[in-house]
């Protein structure tokens, strides 16, 4: 059975699709595509049905990471469907937990930056209103965090095989 990850930000057009696509890129390189599945969502309904932000797509493609996906809103059933839900910032984290009224799924929700090994920043900043360098900074941070996350998941997979 595959291990399922959900990356979550506010609008699901910049940070969370970048996390999803970076992780898919790393998973493919590690030949684990049949063992780890990724998706992304937003806590708001602002951009439902939209493609990833063109500025994020351009920055990611420059690094050889294609950006795919369509924005959707986080829904309570995601708690059941995913093994790990990764929030980009504290606001996203609290908004996700607001869907979990009984606190049943709290252990599934983590901060994305908790997996970073080279960056000490605790939140993935929203690059939406900034310049080009903000998108590159987010990609640097997500690449670091996704590598750390993948290393932890690989250990779990190896233990269960």
Out of 53, 78, 89, 126, pick the active-site residue. 126
Q: Reduced to 3 states, what is the DSSP secondary structure of residue 42?
A: strand
Geometric angle at alpha carbon 147, from 85 and 71, rounded to 5°: 45
Rounded Cα–Cα distance for residues 70 and 80 (Å): 21
Does the annotation count 9 as an active-site position? yes
126 is catalytic: yes
For CA atoms 27, 104, 46, 129, give the dihedral sign.
Answer: negative
> Is 3 within 8 Å of 27 (Cβ atoms)?
no
Q: Which residues are catalytic?
A: 9, 15, 126
């Amino acid at each position: 059975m595959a291990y399922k990850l959900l990356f979550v930000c506010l609008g699901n057009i910049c940070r969370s699709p970048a996390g999803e696509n970076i992780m898919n890129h790393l998973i493919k390189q590690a030949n684990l595509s049949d063992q780890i599945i990724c998706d992304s969502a937003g806590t708001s309904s602002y951009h439902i049905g939209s493609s990833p932000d063109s500025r994020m797509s351009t920055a990611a493609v420059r690094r050889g990471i294609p950006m795919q996906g369509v924005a959707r809103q986080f829904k309570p059933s995601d708690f059941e469907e995913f093994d790990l839900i990764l929030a980009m910032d504290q606001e996203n984290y609290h908004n996700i937990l607001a869907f979990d009224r009984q606190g049943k799924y709290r252990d599934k929700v983590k901060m994305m930056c908790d997996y970073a090994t080279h960056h000490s920043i605790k939140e993935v900043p929203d690059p939406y209103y900034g310049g080009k360098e903000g998108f590159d900074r987010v990609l640097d941070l997500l690449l670091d965090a996704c590598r750390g996350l993948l290393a932890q998941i690989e250990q779990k997979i190896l233990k269960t095989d």
